[in-house]
Amino acid sequence: MQSCHLAVDIGASSGRVMAGFIRADKLNLVEIYRFNNQMMNKADYLCWDIDHLYQSIKIGVKRAIEEQFQPISLAIDTWAVDFVLLDDNDQLLTDAVAYRDDRTDGMMEEVFRIIGREEIYQRTGIQFQPFNTIYQLKALQNQEPEILAKAKTFLMIPDYLNYLLTGKKANEYTNATSTQLIHLATNDWDDVLIEKLGFPREIFQSIELPKTSLGMIKADLVEEFGVEFEVILPATHDTGSAVVAVPEQSETIYLSSGTWSLMGVETEKAIATPEAHSYNFTNEGGLDYRYRFLKNIMGLWMIQEVKRLFQDQYSFADFVDLAKEADHFNSLVDVNDQRFLNPDHMIETIRTVCRENNQAVPETPGEIARTIYLSLARSYQKTIEEIEYLTDQTYKHVNIIGGGCQNEFLNQLLADFSDKTVLAGPVEATAIGNVIVQLLATGQLTSLAEARQLIKDSFLIKTFRPRRNE
């Protein structure tokens, strides 16, 4: 049997269980099981099916064993901000309400009446998004105060899945920073913010760092799987894991491209200046207390929704080809317009915004796709300029990681617009970063520098240069 580390990587539309191991001085990844993840309406809320996610993880583990893999450890990463609450019997008090649910409408303004926006940013360094956990908790406090009063445990999505596997409760650092309730100076829960907002302090668990072992899986799971293995904390925020897999950081801006686009740089110190606040940049926690100084951009969610509305008549590759053919069309939208967060009809919302801005209205699938890709590339270009201003540094490269790096049309647009060399890959950056942390935790790798060299040696990275003379 092949010893391996299992990376459970769950995004907003799908999840997968992957086996990672070093062989012949190369890091190898094998996809074991892929499963869907989608929001559903439940009790008037838009929710995630948390039981489906847990059962899917178990199926993935069993299939890995069937395929002759011997798990040494397992680690889970997911998207950020969402959570569940448990009662004093460790039973779920809440569903896993999704960040796209509208329960947080108006909650930022309510929080700002209690504690000022500037103070929140100075204390946490986290960008303002209406779905941040702080505003979700405020919504729960307003709408269902009896639930919050009964709560004994706050766990984010990967924390809860880890609890189901091990019985141990902990809040992992990188994901906890996305709550906008972690203090920059202490890297721990901000008791002042929590007290001012009237949230029960006792529900928040101890902050644990990536590379921490939560121990072995529970006895009943050992019996079910027929094997025993350790559960390790990666950077449980999927972007945190993805950034671990960016091979070169010194002169590189990273772009984690998927449902969301996360664009930024890795820093040793947080940048929580008034200018960073005005540009709405965030300082999310990273491995070994590094910071991910980045901006959250709407991302490929827009084309995913368009694909759905066309009833999957076109593949993502088809949309790229159609966008190329529509080279006469150059309308742009602000991809960070909150109307694109969860519109009733993405295509009609894009058309409405174009009309409002007195631009040509996209009608064909190619024109719609081109509007999205051009708008994303322009947003990336603007964000690059902001990063260079805020860090007072010029960067040579943009390294796109994640599934979106396979869109070569968008990669080339970014190279042309930014006049920078664009590096594309690795594709499976999040799962790679997840496995890397497990390898560091178990001593098979000794440093992040060694890990990033291993990534360079193991995975294909494509280069896109600006076409200055075309």
- For the annotated catalytic residues, the residue numbers are 238
Q: Which helix (H) or strand (E) holds 375?
A: helix 365-391
AA letter at 363: E
Name which of 314, 297, 320 is nearest 400 in CA terms: 297
Handedness of CA 187, 190, 191, 192 (dihedral sign): positive
Q: Do residues 3 and 21 make contact, with C-beta atoms less than 8 angstroms apart?
A: yes
Q: Alpha-carbon distance 329 to 307, whole Å?
A: 19
Strands 171-172 and 207-208: parallel
For the chain, the C-alpha Rg in angstroms (whole number) is 22
Cα three-residue angle 68-70-71, rounded to 5 degrees:
135
Q: Alpha-carbon distance 67 to 86, whole Å?
A: 36
- DSSP state letters, 74-138: EEEEB-SS-EEEE-TTS-BSS-EE-TTSGGGTTHHHHHHHHS-HHHHHHHH-----TTSHHHHHH
User: Angle 316-325/301-309 helices, nearest 10 degrees?
Assistant: 100
Residues 6+ positions from 156 with CB-CB distance below 8 Å: 78, 80, 81, 82, 83, 133, 171, 172, 175, 176, 179, 236
